[in-house]
Chain A
Amino acid sequence: MVDITPADAVPPAEVAEVELYHPHSWWTKYVFSQDAKVIAIQYSATATAIGLVALVLSWLMRLQLGFPGTFDFITPEAYYQFITMHGMIMVIYLLTALFLGGFGNYLIPLMVGARDMVFPYVNMLSYWIYLLAVLVLVSSFFAPGGPTGAGWTLYPPQAIMTGTPGGQDWGIMLMLVSLILFIIGFTMGGLNYVVTVLQGRTRGMTLMRLPLTVWGIFTATVMALLAFPALFVACVMMLFDRALGTSFFMPAIVEMGEQLQHNGGSPILFQHLFWFFGHPEVYIVALPAFGIVSDLISTHARKNIFGYRMMVWAIVAIGALSFLVWAHHMYVSGMHPYFGFFFATTTLIIAVPTAIKVYNWVLTLWRGDIHLTIPMLFALAFIVTFVNGGLTGLFLGNVVVDVPLSDTMFVVAHFHMVMGVAPIIVIFGAIYHWYPKVTGRMLNETLGRFHFWVTFLGAYLIFFPMHYLGLMGVPRRYNELTDMAIMTESAHHLNSFISIMAFIVGFAQMVFLFNLIWSIRHGREAGGNPWRATTLEWQTPETPPAHGNFGKELPIVYRWAYDYSVPGAKEDFIPQNVPGSFGPSREPA
């Protein structure tokens, strides 16, 4: 444990200095920028903007569910369109883009000690294609027939039939084209993130010295590069079914008393392709959150992360296992009992590495010097929310429990807890943590605490009651529940309560956005390392980091990222680029 890393253990430089692209004009510096930090901000801003659209859509849905029959403009068709666009935007265009495109771009080069991504030009293209994908998606709101209302899973055959909003209009086509563009754009960025982590690290930075944030983003990106192909193929094939009249997914089917041209396709094939992407996607969003939250907890509890190696292997194991569980989303589609058995088993096995991570977070906090800063509050809130969502996941992973619960609000509650609220809470925590590095100023503390408590308690009050609604048998995806026997008086009251909470939580996000913009000019000056953190991004000569990140010389790494409260050291943290003689490294041997 107390091995002193000798300074001469760091080998001589092997990687050639990257040829940086130096911008010549305002346009190439701020708009068509090849600097990963600018690209990260572009990604984040675009994702936030489209995320606001999703937020408004969720309000509209809650208006209808909480106060049925009050709002005439929310027709059943419109409600389905809101569901579809809300789900798709949140999962792909917000969470995936923000974690990988936003945090990945900003943090990977800084944390591994690189000047930039390995191929900045390709990285830049990645953003502009992502922007194009978002614009195509937004354009479907203004297309004839409106956006698609197929549900965010876009299941055929209904996704491309007349009765579904956008099915025989432009909606579904624009959705599919947008997804295809997103995947192309993401691949360009994702290749950069992976190669930068594997091949672009600075001297002394071994894989086992990477901050867990980088491990989370790296593993998620590898998974995305292997999972998005399935979605790409599914989108291409459905596009052909809709545009050319092929029958990949369309069986022989009668619509409005008329036999359609389609014949012999397999809707289940689409489900397999979609969920081969869809399940890893859950972890593509979750793993960066796991990594970031580990760093937040360690930094703000002034204690090294408990079981670093186990944390790394748990991330890798979750990533690998998540490719073997996709059919647990298809229990209700029907499958051979042995398949159900297999997929239920693999699903429950994922609970093992996940539980390791939760225990390690808690053990990191154990007897730590816990500072209840805003990032720390969000990190703690994440653990609470994630454990809740994870436990209901154990229910739904079992076939016999899943089948009756599958089409109820219980599922909505489960996945909003585990992949909606939990990762977004980490995003908030991460923004409060790294905003000082990005802008040089702190976010306003009072507004931040208000934002935290309203968001955390509010989100819990939104989604926790939904479990009860689900257990009562309240179905999901229904826009009108008034005349159903299961909808008791109290269930209606609960629905209205949830809707009111949704508005309050949404309002808190406006406060957060105001804080983001206001603090750029009026926030307290942060200095280079306000959290007294060890990782390389806090050791840059300038804040915000200048073009090329690290001044003349790249940093040399002598220790792991978690040397907090080292006995015998002068301060309670030792940055990664401080040589061994300044104090022992507690890096596990």
Chain B
Amino acid sequence: MTEATVTHIGQAAPRPAGLQGIAADWSSDQRAFKNVSWGKAMMWIFLLSDTFIFGCFLLSYMTARISTRVPWPNPSEVFALHIGGSDIPLILIAIMTFVLISSSGTMAMAVNFGYRRDRRKTAILMLLTAALGATFVGMQAFEWTKLITEGVRPWGNPWGAAQFGSSFFMITGFHGTHVTIGVIFLIIVARKVWRGDFDIGRRGFFTSRTGRYENVEIMGLYWHFVDLVWVFIFAFFYLW
């Protein structure tokens, strides 16, 4: 049984399906992942490494939380917003999560339009993704400001274990940095798409290499990863 695999340079190579296909790919020459370009492979491996960083951060936070001998602040009270006379728990974080997950949707659409060579729609959707990401970071800044005015500091807070504030600022800060970097690169790639760099083979300013519409997808991999990490941070910080 064979299926045709299209490589990024457009050659079809027959190969067996299933486990036999994997074995055939890994025992072949030139590349182990047959239809994966260098850039995409590099992004995947970077994300694997980054997973370990977030994993270590979250495990350290969990260690601090389960080993503390003073009470841990109650997330549904701490993260509640006072709206219309009553405290609504987790409302801000629910909106933030909604915004970030939506941005994954717009990103996926941008990738789709990128492969259809629809420059206008791709660029607009990427900019929309960047805008949603920026909104997320903005709301995070609002949340930080609120907590800081209520007396939460990295070294202590009014309600219990000092590690609450330190882990919170550290982990959400590190994630927020990822989102911010993502927003910057989204804007850069969107500009390239808009200008048609990938159609005319314009070379990068620093790397002097030409890009392809696949760069949109590689950008998307990073963006979806940052969203996925947020789901874990959301679950472990706000729902626990």
**Interface of A toward B, CB cutoff 8 Å:** 10-16, 19, 21, 118-121, 187, 190-192, 194-195, 198-209, 225-226, 228-230, 232-234, 236-237, 240, 244-248, 261, 263-266, 269, 273, 276, 557
Contact = CB atoms under 8 A, between A and B. Distances in A.
A567 B161 CA distance: 74
A248 to B, nearest CB: 6
Contacts, number: 152
A204 B155 contact: no
Given A19-B210, A191-B46, A198 B33 contact: yes
B162 interface: yes
Interface string B48-83: 111011011100100110011110000000000000
Nearest to A209: B29
B64 A266 contact: yes
Contacts of B27: 206-208
A159 B55 CA distance: 25
Contact of B36 (A199, A202, A246): A199
Contacts of A236: 170, 174
B29 A11 contact: yes
B31 A15 contact: yes
Contacts of B50: 229
Contacts of B55: 229
B152 to A, nearest CB: 12
A10 B68 contact: no
A358 B210 CA distance: 47
A376 to B, nearest CB: 31
A209 B33 CA distance: 17
Contact of B7 (A14, A121, A191, A266): A14
A14 B13 contact: yes
B166 A247 contact: yes
Contacts of A209: 29
Given A264-B64, A264-B70, 18 more contacts: A13-B30, A14-B34, A195-B42, A200-B31, A201-B31, A209-B29, A228-B49, A229-B55, A230-B52, A232-B56, A247-B155, A247-B166, A261-B155, A265-B163, A266-B67, A269-B60, A273-B56, A276-B56
A248 B64 contact: yes
A403 to B, nearest CB: 24
Contacts of B39: 119
Interface in B1-45: 7-9, 11, 13, 26-34, 36-39, 41-42, 45
A189 to B, nearest CB: 12
B206 interface: yes
A264 B53 contact: no
Interface in B204-229: 206-210
A216 B28 CA distance: 20
Contacts of B167: 248
B29 A194 contact: no
Contacts of A269: 60, 63-64
Nearest to A12: B11
26 contacts: A11-B13, A11-B28, A19-B209, A19-B210, A119-B39, A119-B207, A121-B207, A191-B45, A195-B45, A199-B38, A199-B41, A202-B30, A204-B29, A207-B26, A208-B27, A226-B52, A228-B49, A229-B49, A232-B53, A246-B162, A246-B165, A247-B163, A264-B68, A264-B69, A266-B67, A269-B63
A197 B163 CA distance: 42
A184 to B, nearest CB: 11
Contacts of A246: 154-155, 162-163, 165-166, 170
A229 B53 contact: yes
A274 to B, nearest CB: 11
Nearest to B43: A191
A200 B163 CA distance: 46
Contacts of B11: 12, 14
Contacts of A204: 29
A218 to B, nearest CB: 11
A488 to B, nearest CB: 45
A10 to B, nearest CB: 7
B234 to A, nearest CB: 20
A237 B60 contact: yes
A32 to B, nearest CB: 11
A21 B56 contact: no
A192 B207 CA distance: 14
B110 to A, nearest CB: 23
Query: Closest 6 A-B residue pairs measured CB to CB?
Result: A246-B166, A229-B52, A233-B56, A245-B155, A229-B53, A121-B207
Interface centre among A191, A199, A205, A234 (most CB of B within 10 A): A199
B226 to A, nearest CB: 16
B162 A240 contact: no
B49 A245 contact: no
A187 B46 contact: yes
B29 A557 contact: yes
A278 to B, nearest CB: 14
Contacts of B174: 236
Given A247-B155, A248-B64, A199 B162 contact: no
